[in-house]
Amino acid sequence: MFKKGFLWLGILLSFTCLGQSENRCPIIPRPAHLETREGRFVLSNTTIVRIPAANPELRTLAENFIRQVNTASGLTLGIQSANESGAAESVLTFRSVGDTGLGAEGYRMDVTTRTITIEAAQPAGFFYAIQSLYQLLPPEIFSSTRVSTAVNWSVPACRIEDQPRYSYRGLHLDVARHFFPVSFIKKYIDLLALHKFNTFHWHLTDDQGWRIEIKKYPKLTQVGSQRQETLIGHYYESDPQQFDGKPYGGFYTQEEVREVVRYAQSRYVTVIPEIEMPGHALAALAAYPEYGCSDGPYETATKWGIFTDVFCPYEKTFTFLQDILSEVMDLFPGPYIHIGGDECPKVAWKRSPYCQQLIKKLKLKNENQLQSYFTARIDKFITSKGRKMIGWDEIMDGNAPPIQVSPSATVMSWRGVEGGIRAARLGHDVIMTPENFVYLDHYQGDRAQEPLAFGRLTPLEETYSYNPTPAELPDRVQKHMMGIQANVWTEYLKTPGQVEYMVWPRAAAVAEIAWTPATQKSWPDFTQRLPDLFRRLDYLQTTYSRAYYAVRIESMPQSDGHVQLALFTNEKAAEIRYTTDGSEPGSQSVRYDRPLRLDKPTSLKAVTVKNGQVIGAVQRWNVAVSKATGKTIRLATPTMKPRDADPAILIDGQYGTTVGYLQEMQGVAGVKTADLNATIDLTEPQSIQTVTIGLVRATAGSILLPRAVEVAVSDDGQAFRTVKTVSMNPTERGKQAIIRQTLTFEPVRGRYVRIIARNVGKVPAGMPKAGQSAWIVADEITVD
């Protein structure tokens, strides 16, 4: 993927234009202080780059910049030491300064029509200045071949004084669930560094795979890096679960790890390895079962989730883990070692006579404190080697005298923000990484139309809105907030392109949170810089999501039986084009200018267009229109999924979806144990002969089809006569779906229509969660 001799940006690329820049200085993350001026600095064959004498590190940075400019533009910029004489029409000067106020990563950049002057106290500051300079140049600067079209190779005149808000700015990648080659890891680091992240968190081990070579324990990769097969789809998507039947594996040799670490260092990125313990250990136990609480056998996990088999706190287990960590510390010279510590069930420990005896011996209260003992032992070992331990916020659970992790342990707060605030109040450094804001494996657009992802929805704007350090926290707590990290878990991300799609542009939002002062953040300004970001990513051959530009709809059913549909897009300067004939919309399709009035079932497709170009993915909806649309509906039992939902969602014209977490299903309504009993008032007697109801089948989540569906009609809403009953099979299993059940009968007249889906009550024997209360969940109801 990378060509020898190209600097880190040199990747073979293609160009996709999203229109002209809307921001004169479209840098992401936004600098702390930015002042624009009139005019532009124009690069030419006479431009000279001047660097301090006897500074090889800065010379390398300057030469890399020159090489990229020359490659993309065909220009021949020269380089001089500051003590060399000679005049030039335009000069880019790098100047080392002793200004401690800039810190290790800060810089100043002054751009006039004839000069660019960059000042920094440390090499990292120069590196980040160059990243800003790249982003001030046209996006074509990222081409790995000479650009054939006419380009204005210039930089807008401006003055920047910049340094980061947080010292820790991290991006994570899980390679245990799915493995990615070194070439992609390098590209991931390239993009990370371009956006001024300074930490790469490498999640190397988990239940589904052990990905790092350990010389002393070769079976970790011989056995633990392999799994027999992989789950297809979401965890609860199919009943029974479906697997691909294909062996899966991969790991990094120690030399490959060193190569990645060196590569990251040259981009001022620290690599933090994560070796999971005491939970998420199945891959390791499959290789070395003697370190589990039972005799095994264990098997590298083939599906996702949390497993009860964890490391047992034998003395030999600590020796095993310390040996592993010793090799890991030899490979990773950075200050931090991540030990996981999350999602460790205590089932095996409760059953283990050894663990129960150890709890008594140590005078611990429970198994939670046993985990604290485990973590404290590992923490003490890591600290003795001159390193610092990082763990997920569970390392604070059960953490109380006399068993405590050291004050130097750093906490990553992922289960919301409360754990991080608590840890900071106790004096621990904290990295904020709350899943509801910065887990980039979540869906980022309409889940029914996005690629497979983790269940929740976290759109770009929600990520951007996060503030890791609330102003109301006292200074003594704020000083422990080291920074922020975004996490990318790869259960559902098999390829580099899928990872990139989930990461960008949300990682750019995280970069701005991490670097830019809170007072300088601006969502409208950030969105104006997105077109330039996307053009850069095009040149960097990076897949990204355009979900921000997607068209959204709002259904407004009317009492006269038609549906009004309002269409929206985030991009205010764009227009929406749509079709209703089944064809794909484009820049020449009908332009949306007012809510659409639909009086029959319609297939609607829409897309966002700007400057004559399509900038978002096509969005698709099937709209239901029937005699029930917009009428009044009443449920005999209030909905519990989602709780107290408006029953009108069952006749609003929009079909629901079960994509994502079952508790977050959209456009559906469910009841537990009881029948789903819906009565629709058609406002006047009408002839009807067909009723269709959508019914959710998600048996892994106790959502069953009803045992029967009945339709009854009434003239007065009191006396109902049944016109049709159909039996259904609540034990029917399969892939999670919405089953549309149609009941057809001889035409009858009535004002009120009652639809009853009869609940089986309890989940039958032989099914998942047998004996638990069964749910009935319904989707759109139509009456014709």
| Catalytic residue annotation | 343
Residue 749 and residue 686: Cα distance in Å, rounded? 5
- Token pair for residue 351? 């059953």
Helical (H) or strand (E) element with 121: none
Instruction: Please give the helix or strand (H or E) that residue 551 lies within, else none.
Output: none
First to last CA, the chain: 58
680: left (phi over 0), alpha (psi -120 to 50) or beta: beta
Backbone phi, psi, residue 86, to 5°: 140, 145
> Both tokens of residue 202?
């490498």
Smallest CA-to-CA distance from 317 within 257, 345, 358, 369 is with 358
Cβ pair 49, 65 in contact under 8 A: yes
Give the separation between CA 312 and CA 291, rounded to whole angstroms. Answer: 6
CB count within 10 Å of CB 762 equals 15
Beta strands 775-783 and 669-672, pairing class: antiparallel
The burial of 255, by beta-carbon neighbours within 10 Å (0-12 exposed, 13-18 middle, 19 or more buried), is given as exposed
d(CA 376, CA 292): 19
User: What are the φ and ψ backbone dihedral angles of 229, each rounded to 5 degrees?
Assistant: -165, 180
Cβ atoms of 90 and 42 within 8 Å: the answer is yes
Alpha helix segments (H runs only) across 173-288: 182-194, 219-222, 254-265, 282-287
Q: How far apart are CA 84 and CA 403, in angstroms?
A: 63
CA 391, distance to chain mean position in Å, is: 20
Joined together, the tokens standing for residue 607 give 């897309």
Q: Would you state the structure tokens that stand for residue 715, as one six-digit string? A: 């003239």
Place of tokens 């764009």: 574
Query: Residue 199 forms beta bridges with which residues?
Result: 170, 270
d(C-alpha 1, C-alpha 734), whole Å: 41
Contact 720, 712 (CB under 8 A): yes
Which residues have a Cβ under 8 Å from the Cβ of 271 and sit 6 or more positions away?
Answer: 199, 200, 202, 260, 261, 264, 332, 334
User: What is d(CA 392, CA 210) in angstroms, rounded to the nearest whole number?
Assistant: 19
| 693 contacts 670 by C-beta, under 8 angstroms | no
Q: How far out from the chain centre does Cα 438 lie?
A: 6
Bridge partners (DSSP) listed for residue 669: 778
Tokens, residue 218: 């070769």
For residue 505, give the nearest of 467, 559, 554, 543 by alpha carbon.
543
Partner residues linked to 696 by β-bridges: 738
